[in-house]
Structures are given as structure tokens and as C-alpha cells.
Structure 1
Amino acid sequence: MRMRPQCLKMGDTIGVVAPAGPIDGERLTRSILFFERMGLHVLLGAALDEQYGYLAGTDEQRVADFHAMVADTSVKAIFFARGGYGTARIADKIDYELIRKHPKIMWGYSDITYLHTSIRQQTGLVTFHGPMPVSDIADKDFDQLSANLFQQLFYPKTLHYTEEVSPLEVIVPGEAEGQLVGGNLSLLISTLGTAYEIDTKNKLLLMEDIGEAPYRVDSMLNQLRLAGKLDEAAGIIVGDFADAEPNKEPSLSLEQVFNDYLANLSCPVMAGFKIGHCFPHFSVPLGAHAVLSTSAKTLTVEPGVQ
């Protein structure tokens, strides 16, 4: 059953936690000012200053921080500070019943894809794929469109992605609708064979990634294909694949790889969406109903909040 979290109001408190990589305190401070300008108060997780190798504290510390924010009724939204690596390590340690009892806005992307997937499939909660405080909001290239899309959290807003945002390429023509799911391709692959395996049946599957050469994207798409996830999808939305240049020669181009795996699907496929490790970063609610139209070259997504 789908749950949409309550929208934010001016004066609300939001929480920031780091369930993956360790944070840069200076960048976090800059991002806090962004939220304060929106009229929000920011509560920082107790373990934000922790570091355990490439993780923002031990698994136990990161889970405890997250659970504390979920249980705190004064906190109306949880923003994940950054990606990196680590959310898959805590997926089986999360109290999903606690989330069902306290559904609230949750926002992030990249490594957070694992949490988006596990939380949605365990609880039905709509979560948000969007730019994060430390890795994006504090960046000098953070742009106005990316900033404006945070307004979808303050009232139920239908999103319309058109070519006014970026040129879109039709790989397979058609129209499709369904629940919007997905996120970072490498994280989607890491769910396969687990209790949190991505469900794409009759869904619109979004995929994006960064720093993956064409042969790596080829390998991951092949795994999705062999697992039946591409054939089951109602439609495919190809987001941004940043820094995807070949690191060995000869190489297929990324476009050739997409064509090999996606051009013969029976569902509509469209590429070029500025969703992912990019600016602008068009944030979207995962789990919300969406419509993909290649004739109109649009993606329409129903509100993620109520």
C-alpha cells in the first residue's frame, strides 16, 4: 500500500543523517543555510561527526541515528547528507515497522538508492530522489532549478519533465504509466538476490550512475536483463550517466550499450533526463505514479506528499 508523507510547513524541523560515507563539516554548514532560507530548522544527527573508515560511523551508529530521526515526532523530514557507500550494510538492521508508524519525507540519491528500494518495498512509503546537502547543495554549481524543486515538499505538486529541462532521446517509442522506481544502477544491481531485490514489474524504471565506463554499464544492464527486470518494466527512464568515458580502448560508446540492451524492448524507453549526478538535478518522488510519453517527450509524476 502506497503511503505519501505529510508536506512540510514553514518553521518545521528537518533532520540530517549520514547513513553512508563520512561528511565534510564545512560543506554541511553551507547547506544548512539553504534549508534555513526555506524557513526550516535543521537538527543534525548525533553521529554526523563519526567516521569508521569509508563510513560515517559504525553500522550501529548510523542505524541508531536514522532510527532516532524517524522516531522523533518533531522531525518532519529526513535528508541524507551524502552517498558514497554503506546503506546496503544497514538495510537488514532498519526497523521498517518504525517507519510505517512514523512516515515522513526522506530525501537523497546515489548510494541512498538501496534505502529508497528497501523502504518502499517494505513499507510502501514514497521517498524522494534528489540532491543532498553535503554532496550537492553545498556545491558551487548547485543551480536554481535544482533548488526550486525542493518546493514539491511544501504542497502536493505534479511534476512535468519536458525538453525545456534537457533534450530527450526516444530509444523505443510508446506511452506507459506506473509506479516510478529505481535510481543508481550499480545499487539496483546490488539488490538482486537479496530480500530487497528491486521490483520492476509494471513499473517505470529510472536508472542513472556516475564514473562507470561503458563496459561496466554493459555488465550491469546485462545482469538486469538476465534477471528479467528489463522485460518486466512498463517503461525505462535513462537518467544522467556522468563521467562514463571509456577507460580502455577499443570500447563501445555508452549510446551503443544502451541501444544493445534497450532498443529491442517492448516498452517505451527515453534517455537524456537530468536526474542523477548532474546539475540541474531534477528531483522526483520514487513510489509515486508517473506517466512516460515519448510522443510528447514528457515525464509526468504525481505529487509525493499529501
Structure 2
Amino acid sequence: MIRPERLCKGDTIGVIAPASSASLEMVYKAVPFFEKMGLRVELGKHIDCGYGYLGGTDKERLDDFHQMIVNPWIKAIFFARGGYGTGRIVEQVDYDLIKDNPKIIWGYSDITYLHTAIQKKTDLVTFHGPMLASDIAKNGFDKFSACMFSQLFEPTKLQYPNAIGKLQTIVAGEASGKLTGGNLTLLVSTLGTPYEIDTESKLLILEDINEEPYRVDAMLNQLKLAGKLDEAAGILIGDFAKAEPKQEPSLSLKQVFQDYLGNLPCPVVNGFKIGHCFPHFSVPLGADATIQTASKSLCIRAGVK
């Protein structure tokens, strides 16, 4: 895997909205967070554009991404929010540009599609973490989530702190592999495309929001039938926010996870604070990691160099 260069104080970062449109007010509200870290912030040319439920036309959003990639003064790219739309532009992304200009790329949720495509086409480590308008600008954004950005300034081995959330073992064991995954809905939407999620011998992260148990059931079934669960070296279940069933009777999420993951020949652990939640444990996708259920530990190699 290719690790991007670390950030230094005085560097400039770029902010774009490659999925849904973002509130410019919320984006500006989040800018001081980066300025306090000694960074300069440059907004994408089309960040305040809109095209229906998208943050601008496909061309506008793609142009902003490419401009941030080729600009030598931009040392990292952060996304304003997720929503929907990155899957529409991955076919037009110039992956050679990314290979020639590897830099920090940070976001989650709908950005999962972009992470998956970049990982498959370039082997660049990218980062699954909070975004400006949807997370950093909100009152609930906490100190732990903020501290996770420090991994961008110094190569740091991450150790998951059990104090932020109790982990539950579904399948015991130990496994090592590169981290991959993210939002379950987006991962399923890559199946059958040139950007299909590759889980072979990898530690697969799964998280989502606003998906009832029957929907999670259907998506896990699709991953199972595609062979993606059996191929994984281990599975890390992140936060599934607002997943309560709206109709009864219903299986619980715990039952759904047990049905699909309980008999896998690899360690499976539930309860990671990864996803649409605070605190938010930010991780470098593509980095080497080891999960041990006996000690309930997750250790991740540094994402930057």
C-alpha cells in the first residue's frame, strides 16, 4: 500500500463536496477546527453548488476533486459531507493523477464508494473519519473524535480504546490484514462493478445508519452470496445508528449479525465506535491491522509516512 505524506503546521488542506450538497454555513463553522491545528483551508470552487440532491453536477464535483489532487499546495483533501453521489463519479476519476500525487483523503459514509475505488485502483491508504458539515460543525463533536486527526501529523500506531465502547465477540480468534470497508449500503452497491469491494484476507469494517434490521439482513445476505464474508480475514462491526425496526415482529440487529456472521471461520467483533457516531474512531483504510478477541484489541499500523 502507498501511505501519503504526513501533514505539517502551515500546510493547506482542500475541502470539497463530492456527494450531496453541504451547508456552507456549517462548512465555515468547521474551518476553525483545522486552523487551530495550524492548517490553512481552501474550499473547492463548486462547494456551494447544487444539482438536485447532489453538490453540483458530476463534472463540477469531479473537477473539484481533480483540482485538489493536482494542486501541489494542497496536502490533504477533506470532505464536507456524505449523502449520495460519489458512486456517480468514480468511473471518471483519473486514478493515475492520484498515483502521481498521493495525499491524505479523509471522509466516510457515501465517501465509502470513493475509498473503495481508490483502494482498488491505486493502493493508496485513505482515511475513514468525521467530515466538516456533518460532524465537526455539530455540537456533539467530542474531544476524542477531534484527537483522532493527530494521526495525520505523525506516523502513529493506533490502538482501539475499549473505554469508548464495550466490544462483543461474535466469533473468537485472531487475524491480521489490511483494513477495508465502511458503509454497508455503499459496499453492496459496488458489487458487480469494476470497483467491487475486495475482502480477501482483509479486515472488513461494516457500519451504517437509518437501516432497519431487515435491510441489514438483505445487504449481509448479498455480501454472503457474493463470497465477500467468507473471504475476509476478520470482520469489525461498527456503529449502526438509528436501526430500530419500525414494524413488529422483527429480528434484532444482534440476531441478524449472529445469523450471517456467527458461523464464519474468522474473528468477528461487534461494537466499534466507527461510523455515524460520537466518539468516532477514525481509521486508515488499507493499513495493516490485527484483531484479537481474547484481549479485545485492535492494533492498526500508521496511515501516513
Same fold (TM over 0.5): yes
1:57 aligns to what? 56
1:154 aligns to what? 153
1:240 counterpart SS class: strand
Residues 200-239 of structure 1 mapped to structure 2, 5 A cutoff: 200-239=199-238
Q: Could you tell me the TM-score, scaled by structure 1's length?
A: 0.99
Q: Flag structure 2 segments of 5+ consecutive residues without an equivalent.
A: none
| 1:235-289 deviation per Cα after TM superposition (whole angstroms, max 9, x unaligned) | 0000000000002111000100000000000000000000000000000000000
1:9 to partner: Cα distance: 0.1
1:142 to partner: Cα distance: 0.1
Q: Distance in 2 between matches of 1:115 and 1:241?
A: 21
* 1:279 partner letter: F
1:149 to partner: Cα distance: 0.5
Q: Distance in 2 between matches of 1:247 and 1:47?
A: 38
Q: Distance in 2 between matches of 1:219 and 1:245?
A: 16
1:190 aligns to what? 189
2:125 aligns to what? 126
| 1:159-181 deviation per Cα after TM superposition (whole angstroms, max 9, x unaligned) | 00031221000000000000000
1:16 counterpart SS class: strand
1:175 aligns to what? 174
Coordinate RMSD, CA, aligned = 0.4
Q: Distance in 1 between matches of 2:49 and 2:26?
A: 16
1:6 counterpart SS class: coil
| 1:25-51 deviation per Cα after TM superposition (whole angstroms, max 9, x unaligned) | 111111101000110000000000100
Is residue 38 of structure 1 aligned with residue 37 of structure 2? Answer: yes
1:142 aligns to what? 141
2:89 aligns to what? 90
Give the percent of matched residue pairs that are identical in Structure 1 and Structure 2: 63
Residues 162, 297 of structure 1: 8 Å contact kept: no
Residues 171, 271 of structure 1: 8 Å contact kept: yes
1:8 aligns to what? 7
Q: Distance in 1 between matches of 2:28 and 2:162?
A: 34
1:217 to partner: Cα distance: 0.1
* 2:76 partner letter: A
